[in-house]
Amino acid sequence: MVQINLPKNSKIQKGKYFKDTTGSKNIRKVNIYRWDPSTGENPRIDTYEVDMDNCPSKVLDLLNKIKNEIDPTIAYRRSCAHGVCGSCAMNMDGKNGLACTKPHSEIKGDINIYPLPHLKVLKDLIGDLSSLYKQYESVEPWLKNSNDSSKTENLQSKEDRAKLDGLYECIMCACCSTSCPSYWWNGDKYLGPAVLLQAYRWIIDSRDEDRKARLKKVADELKLYRCHTIMNCTNACPKGLNPAKAIASIKKMLATS
Amino acid sequence: MKDNNPISPHIQVYNWHISSLVSISHRITGVINYLLLILVCFWVISLIFGSESYQYFKKFSESMVGKFFIIGFIWSYLFQILSEIRHWFWDMGYGFELRTTKITGVIVILGSFILTIALYLLSGVLI
């Protein structure tokens, strides 16, 4: 259901203000969404003054600096710091992306950091992605092939392999799905761009023998056709992929088969 | 415990861009078009009941409110048509590159206004 306003327990309050203590002249204000599950209070926005002269270039560096030097209580996911693992996906400056690949110099004015949109918040910048993972499981993202591939190689032509380009690079960071208004309003039923791109990745794989069943499975008013080509997904993807096009390709296959 | 978890902000914080603006406008103009068909019904009814009743409609259409409705209706339809053409291309699998979506989005927005003005001026010449 479309619910524009946030529920009562999600309304954001003004939080603490951490004044700069270094005396630096190159200061930027960083506003970060905070929610502590142990207090029962509403989420708040804490503001940090950060000395930018001694801060590396990416938003993740900025968060690490705050956690190490100003406020160790702040929680966020991160791992590889090179745009490969997808852990540090969050909403920066009104757009989803990976904190480790987003330069803070691209952001004008105060730097606003929120968790990925419309998720259950577990703590601070950490959202609950378990329902997305369940949906991912539902498309059975593995090769289905009756050949005994343990004995021979499973060959694929160069052309067929090229069809997977722009799909296999997906790191499942959920930037796209959580940027999608359709997924906000119908996330329980609509599969969302990330999962549909993955579904298409297996549908289009020449080695997979389950194409018909896979197509039949996603051909659903809610699972697939809630995509209205709003293009937030493609705009958000930090890997430069095009989930909207993948979804359109599934729709086209269904319309022409 | 888990039920008390807040929902992270979504539409409140997410940036708008051309494609999302065109998308929501497509929906809104769709509803407007649907509702304004009532106006077309009144127009047809006024024709059926002869010249006297048509004068009422004419009076309304020449008033400021009437003009606003009619010009708004023309814009809303033109926007819907242009945006629908964009969707046709998408349905055929073309025009998904980010740059292309931006350009076609601008064409839809500007085009709807330009065509509205053109149609308004043209109708003034013809009638």
- Could you give the ipTM of this predicted complex? 0.91
With respect to residue B8, please indicate whether it lies within any of the assigned structural domains.
Answer: no
The number of domains in chain B is: 1
Contact criterion met (CB below 8 Å) for B59 and B42: no
With respect to residue B3, please indicate whether it lies within any of the assigned structural domains.
Answer: no
**Distance (Å) from the alpha carbon of B85 to chain A's nearest alpha carbon:** 13
Residue B127: per-residue pLDDT: 61
pLDDT exceeds 50 at position A165: yes
Q: pLDDT tens digits for A172-185?
A: 999 999 999 999 99
Confidence of residue A146 (pLDDT cuts 50, 70, 90): confident
| A187 contact B CB<8A | no
Residue A106: per-residue pLDDT: 97
What range does the domain containing A252 cover? 130-256
With respect to residue A165, please indicate whether it lies within any of the assigned structural domains.
Answer: yes
**CATH number, domain with residue A158:** 1.10.1060.10
d(CA B32, CA B35) in angstroms, rounded, equals 5
Closest Cα to residue A248, out of A223, A222, A225? A225
Confidence of residue A134 (pLDDT cuts 50, 70, 90): very high
Q: Based on the fold, state whether residues A21 and A111 are members of the same structural domain.
A: yes
**Helices (DSSP H) in chain B: which residue ranges?**
18-48, 50-62, 64-91, 98-126
Closest by Cβ to B9, choosing from A6, A122, A235: A6
Instruction: Give the end of a domain, one of A80, A98, A127.
Output: A127
Confidence of residue B1 (pLDDT cuts 50, 70, 90): very low
| A166 contact B CB<8A | no
C-beta atoms of A116 and B8 within 8 A = yes
Closest by Cβ to A91, choosing from B2, B13, B91: B13
With respect to residue B6, please indicate whether it lies within any of the assigned structural domains.
Answer: no
Q: Based on the fold, state whether residues A67 and A32 are members of the same structural domain.
A: yes
The number of domains in chain A is: 2
pLDDT exceeds 80 at position B24: yes
Q: Based on the fold, state whether residues A118 and A134 are members of the same structural domain.
A: no
Higher-confidence residue of A76 and B127: namely A76
Q: Based on the fold, state whether residues A87 and A198 are members of the same structural domain.
A: no
**CATH number, domain with residue B78:** 1.20.1300.10
How distant is the alpha carbon of residue A11 from its chain centre? 22
Instruction: Give the end of a domain, one of A127, A152, A168.
Output: A127
Largest distance between two CA atoms of chain A: 68
d(CA A64, CA A111) in angstroms, rounded, equals 15
Question: A-chain residues within 8 Å CB-CB of B90?
Answer: 229, 248
User: For the residues of A176-208, what is the DSSP string, one character each?
Assistant: TGGG-HHHHHHTTTS-HHHHHHHHHHHHS-TT-
With respect to residue A39, please indicate whether it lies within any of the assigned structural domains.
Answer: yes
Q: Based on the fold, state whether residues A146 and A40 are members of the same structural domain.
A: no
What range does the domain containing B122 cover? 18-126
With respect to residue B1, please indicate whether it lies within any of the assigned structural domains.
Answer: no
Q: pLDDT tens digits for A6-45?
A: 999 999 999 999 999 999 999 999 999 999 999 989 999 9
Q: Based on the fold, state whether residues A25 and A134 are members of the same structural domain.
A: no
For B76-95, what is the mean pLDDT? 96
Q: Based on the fold, state whether residues A134 and A108 are members of the same structural domain.
A: no
| A10 contact B CB<8A | yes
Q: Based on the fold, state whether residues A156 and A217 are members of the same structural domain.
A: yes
With respect to residue B10, please indicate whether it lies within any of the assigned structural domains.
Answer: no
Contact criterion met (CB below 8 Å) for A247 and A197: yes
Instruction: Give the end of a domain, one of A64, A92, A127.
Output: A127
Residue B118: per-residue pLDDT: 93
Contact criterion met (CB below 8 Å) for A131 and A116: no
| A235 contact B CB<8A | yes
For A218-227, what is the mean pLDDT? 94
Q: Based on the fold, state whether residues A39 and A123 are members of the same structural domain.
A: yes
With respect to residue A238, please indicate whether it lies within any of the assigned structural domains.
Answer: yes
Task: Classify residue A40 by burial, with Cβ atoms within 10 Å: 0-12, 13-18, 19+.
Answer: exposed
pLDDT exceeds 70 at position A149: no
For A197-225, what is the mean pLDDT? 95
